[in-house]
Amino acid sequence: MLRIITQEAEAQTELKRIGDRTYDGETLHKEATVREILQTVQRQGDKALLDYTAEFDRQTLTLEQLRVSGSELDAAYQQVSKELLDAIVLARQRIEAFHRQRIPKSWVQFDDDEVVLGKRYTPVDRAGLYVPGGRAAYPSTVLMNAIPAKVAKVPKIVMVTPPGEGGKITPAVLVAAQEAGVTEIYRVGGAQAVAALAYGTKTIPKVDIITGPGNIYVTLAKKLVYGIVGIDSLAGPSEVLVIADSQANPVHIAADLLAQAEHDPMAAAILLTTDADLATKVQWEVEQQLLNHPRRLLTEKAIAHYGLIVVVDSLETAARLSNLFAPEHLELEIADPWALLESIRHAGAIFLGNSTPEAVGDYLAGPNHTLPTSGAARYASALGVETFLKHSSLIQYSSGALNKMSGAIQALAQAEGLHSHSESVRLRTEED
């Protein structure tokens, strides 16, 4: 049963408890396992990948089967319905259109004083996308990770995903990958897949950045290889926080909370409402909708442990509590969502109004669904084209410009005890 609380102090404690739920408790002893997997792949390459796949995924592959073949990719299109293919294409178009907006552009500025400054943006050479398999084999994950890389003009987009029964990969995932512009796909998952992308093997190319969600082993592997390659973020369990007033529909809100909870027994679903009556109705509705839920057990677990309704005295209090939690997804099911926006400081994505359930953004509104979790919205943002771009600063001084700045640079260099820094300027300017 979804708990209802009304005291702000208790709400703060509970939100902190829920916000701190991470896979952290399990990490330390798993880290040793992951470290060993990384080292083994580094040493043995492809052989280690096949061995771990046999061990963890129970699939025996040959070296040739590691890469998904052209004929399997073609065949995938025959295995998805016309309706699903159309939906994937529609989602691809809308996600791509959104990601094409306001991409950072290179610029150069020529100053009066013979100084040229600028920034030059270039894509990474190779991106590696981790796509989970099994229960969480989601074509939408493929679209959301690959499209920003494609829009950033990354020349090589490598996808890895664990094989299912008979070594198969879900056809919808293969279709989404092709639609999104993935350039090659390998049948490997877990920490071993992250290792392959970070170090490279004979078959799988070393990449520059690894993105995409995964289980605790994948996440630990990403953290450990960070610095050797770039990573997008460390994904924790997913969460939604809904702020609702009396005009909101309890049936819709219950569905939204369950849509979060059905992801993972550690998913969090929180409602902050100014209306005690709505709170009770949502609580009841959640029970009703759980009755025939195809993932009832898992979803009930999430609701029991990390579900919460808080009745608050005002929308401002709700915004304040939401900022403490810094939710991955924030729904504002209130009469004037735009008015409350100014009070919101931290949230991965904000869904405004009664007709914008999170599912819209999960699939095809356009903005990325890979969002900061576990309070990371305090400092991080959605995956985006920027994830696959980096820039070089550009600096050019004329000899006259250097002369003008020479005294200040030498003063600073000498204060820092950096002799040759100072000399590199003095030698250029005293000779002129």
What is the x/- site pattern for a second copy, positions 227-266, by CB under 8 A?
Answer: x-xx---x-x------------x-xx--xx-xx-xxx---
The CB-of-8 to a second copy minimum distance in angstroms stands at 20
- Tokens representing 47 are 């052989």
What tokens appear for 185 in the block? Answer: 């796909």
Least Cα distance to 205 among 215, 214, 193 occurs for: 193
Close Cβ partners of 20 (under 8 Å, ≥ 6 residues apart): 374
Active-site residue identified among 252, 329, 346, 369: 329
Per CB under 8 A, the list member of 43, 100, 102, 202 interacting with a second copy is 102
Instruction: Assign 275 to helix, strand or coil.
Output: coil
Selected from 138, 199, 306, 325, the binder of a second copy by CB under 8 A is 138
On whether 249 is known to bind a ligand per the annotation, the reply is: no
Task: Scan residues 106-135 and list those touching a second copy (CB under 8 A).
Answer: 107, 109, 115-117, 119-120, 122, 124-125, 135
C-alpha span between 51 and 406 (Å, rounded): 61
Query: According to CB under 8 A, which residues from 151 to 180 bind a second copy?
Result: 172
In whole angstroms, give the CA distance from residue 307 to residue 257.
8
What sign does the dihedral 218-222-228-230 (CA atoms) show?
A: positive
Are the C-beta atoms of residues 46 and 201 closer than 8 Å to each other?
yes
Number of residues located near a second copy, criterion CB under 8 A: 125
Spatial separation of the C-alpha atoms in residues 143 and 358, rounded to whole Å: 17
Alpha carbon distance 261, 268 (integer Å): 6
The binding track of 293-332 with respect to a second copy, each residue x by CB under 8 A or -, is: xxx---x------------------------------x--
The verdict on whether 285 is a catalytic residue reads no
CB-CB neighbours of 272 under 10 Å: 25
Least distance (Å) from a second copy to the CB of residue 81? Answer: 8
Q: Confirm whether residue 263 is marked as ligand binding.
A: yes
Contact pick of 101, 112, 165, 291 for a second copy (by CB under 8 A): 101
For residue 175, give Cα distances in angstroms to 80, 139, 170, 268, 376: 8, 8, 9, 31, 32
Concerning whether 346 is annotated as a catalytic residue, the answer is no
Helix, strand or coil, per DSSP, at residue 424: helix
**Contact call for residues 223 and 66 (beta carbons, < 8 A):** no
**Residues 179-208 contacting a second copy, CB under 8 A:** 208
Q: Is 401 in the site for a second copy (CB under 8 A)?
A: yes
428 binds a second copy (CB under 8 A): yes
61 binds a second copy (CB under 8 A): no
The CB-based long-range contact list for 79-82 (8 Å cut-off, 24+ gap) reads 79/171, 80/171, 80/172, 80/175
192 labelled as ligand-binding?
A: yes
Residue 75 near a second copy by CB under 8 A: no
Q: Of 372-391, which residues contact a second copy (CB under 8 A)?
A: 372, 374, 376-382, 386, 390-391
Q: Is 346 in the site for a second copy (CB under 8 A)?
A: yes
Among 144, 283, 362, 385, binds a second copy (CB under 8 A): 362
Minimum CB–partner distance for residue 62 and a second copy (Å) = 30
78: contact with a second copy by CB under 8 A: no
**Chain-centre distance for alpha carbon 299:** 22
Q: Which residue, 13 or 109, has its beta carbon nearer to a second copy?
A: 109
Cβ 34 to a second copy shortest distance, Å: 14
103 binds a second copy (CB under 8 A): no
The position carrying tokens 């070393």 is 206
Find residue 187's DSSP bridge partners: 161
Q: Specify the residue, 57 or 256, whose C-beta has the smaller distance to a second copy.
A: 256
Give catalytic residues, as residue numbers.
Answer: 328-329
- Binding-site positions for NAD(+): 130, 192, 215
- Binding-site positions for substrate: 238, 260, 263, 329, 362, 416, 421
